[in-house]
Amino acid sequence: MLPERLSALKRQRALVAEHLAWLDRELASATAENPTSTDSLFPTSPPPPPTVELSTLSAQSEAAPDTSAPEEAAARLASANARANAILEEYSATGRFDPESTRRGCILFASAVLILGFVSLLVIYILRYR
């Protein structure tokens, strides 16, 4: 795994951990104030900004190297890429945006609407005015 990606993932994990700690503190203070009221569970102020230092995250990433086998990770990545490519091929949009078929479909739809309109007017005329 690339060192930049690893440090970014660890930074995101630290941010999520800090957010969960803030949520725990808010829930604890809300339940201590009034355990039956649900209005205090939703604070009106946003959570405080994260205080995670990037230098500590980089030190953590150097201290705890990735222990998974690189061959195994490469195999998983290749498998995921193959599945993604198969899905993209299955749902490719090459046939949907053909201008000629779009034009033909619009003309057929307009013709069908006009024919149904004339037929309905003819049926109304025959049933009501004869």
Q: Are 10 and 60 in contact (CB under 8 A)?
A: yes
Q: Are 61 and 7 in contact (CB under 8 A)?
A: yes
Chain segment 18-49, per-residue pLDDT in tens? 999 998 898 888 888 765 555 555 656 666 66
Least confident of 32-46, 95-109, 116-130: 32-46
The pLDDT value recorded for residue 116 is 98
Quick check: 117 pLDDT over 60? Answer: yes
Cα distances (angstroms) measured from residue 38 to each of 30, 32, 44, 47, 90: 8, 12, 13, 18, 48
The pLDDT value recorded for residue 34 is 67
Chain segment 84-100, per-residue pLDDT in tens? 888 888 777 665 667 88
For the segment 94-114, the average pLDDT, to the nearest whole number, is: 86
pLDDT, the chain, mean: 79
Whole-angstrom distance, CA of residue 8 vs CA of residue 13: 9
Q: What is the distance between the terminal CA atoms of the chain, rounded to a whole angstrom?
A: 82
This prediction's pTM:
0.30
